[in-house]
């Protein structure tokens, strides 16, 4: 039986510079993995490439998601399969409300993943959106603003968690979602992720600080240095990194 996600000997280049060098990882459905490492270790490049970002070239290796060759799929098909990337630096989309953006994304993914089931009507979706906003302690007017335009850093990260909650992916890649958050915003983001944990959904949390892992307990922690995993362990490994730093692992 194939793994939920299997990455084998992956090599990635950006502008002819190799940034990921022989990365391998196996995840099962329902697991939460934390990928930690110093800046420049290739963490963000890895998840961007998995999502299909065109700036990242995969020169070697294999990625299988639900038994399928993920690298053979264009970015939109990866998303329709249930893969979600929460960006470290979310982009602004002027003139498009967050509500309309989310409804369009929801419709596209629902039709791909549940072709025989009726999707929510626009009114039902609005009711669902309002409930999620309340659960995340966010103002209802937030959804009427243009996507990320004029948002603070914390608001952008909350918007990513809002998208995650509405779209309900089966594999969520969180690229330093904790970056730049104050403690209250960090708790909201962590609570949103914890609320979505289930036996059907997996998370890969990319970070270089252990503080978000005080609120989200991972099943596995991996240390990435110079483009590949150099150490793996349980949740206690994150605490070890906080005490010893990455130099103990060659970072």
pLDDT of residue 188: 80
pLDDT of residue 233: 96
Nearest Cα to 49, choosing from 244, 214, 204? 204
Kindly report the CA angle at 77 between 72 and 79, in degrees rounded to 5?
120
pLDDT of residue 128: 95
Tens digit of each residue's pLDDT (9 = 90 or more) over 36-81: 999 899 999 999 999 999 999 999 999 999 999 999 999 999 999 9
Tens digit of each residue's pLDDT (9 = 90 or more) over 146-193: 999 988 888 888 888 899 999 999 999 999 887 777 888 788 888 888
Phi-psi region at 2: left, alpha or beta (left = phi > 0; alpha = psi -120 to 50): beta
* Residues shown for the chain: 251
Structure tokens at 134: 């309340």
pLDDT of residue 135: 85
pLDDT of residue 245: 86
pLDDT of residue 1: 55
pLDDT of residue 161: 87
Helices within the chain (DSSP H only):
43-51, 75-80, 98-113, 122-135, 153-167, 183-196, 236-244
> What is the pTM for the complete model shown?
0.91
Domain 5-249 has what CATH class?
Answer: alpha beta
Share of the chain above pLDDT 70, in %: 99
Domain ranges, ordered by start, for the chain = 5-249
* Stretch (H or E) spanning 5: strand 5-14
Rounded to whole angstroms, how far apart are CA atoms 213 and 205? 9
CA atoms within 13 A on the CB side of 174: 35
């Amino acid at each position: 039986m194939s793994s939920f996600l299997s990455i084998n000997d992956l090599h990635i280049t950006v502008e002819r510079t190799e940034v990921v060098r022989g990365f391998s990882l196996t995840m099962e459905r329902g697991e939460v993995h934390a990928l930690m490492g110093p800046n420049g270790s290739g963490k963000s490049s890895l998840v961007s490439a998995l999502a299909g970002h065109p700036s990242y070239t995969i020169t070697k290796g294999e990625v299988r998601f639900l038994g399928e060759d993920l690298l053979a799929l264009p970015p939109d098909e990866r998303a329709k399969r249930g893969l979600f990337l929460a960006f470290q630096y979310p982009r602004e989309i002027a003139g498009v409300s967050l509500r309309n953006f989310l409804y369009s994304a929801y419709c596209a993914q629902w039709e791909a993943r549940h072709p025989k089931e009726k999707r929510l009507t626009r009114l039902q979706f609005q009711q669902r959106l309002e409930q999620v906003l309340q659960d995340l302690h966010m103002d209802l007017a937030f959804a009427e603003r243009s996507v990320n335009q004029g948002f603070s850093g914390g608001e952008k990260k909350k918007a990513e968690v809002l998208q995650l909650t509405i779209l309900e992916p089966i594999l969520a890649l969180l690229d330093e979602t904790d970056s730049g958050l104050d403690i209250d915003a960090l708790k909201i983001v962590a609570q949103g992720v914890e609320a979505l944990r289930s036996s059907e959904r997996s998370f890969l949390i990319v970070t270089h600080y252990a503080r978000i892992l005080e609120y989200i307990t991972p099943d596995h922690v991996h240390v990435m240095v110079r483009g590949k995993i150099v150490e793996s362990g349980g949740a206690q490994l994150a605490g070890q990194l906080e005490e010893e730093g990455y130099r103990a692992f060659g970072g």
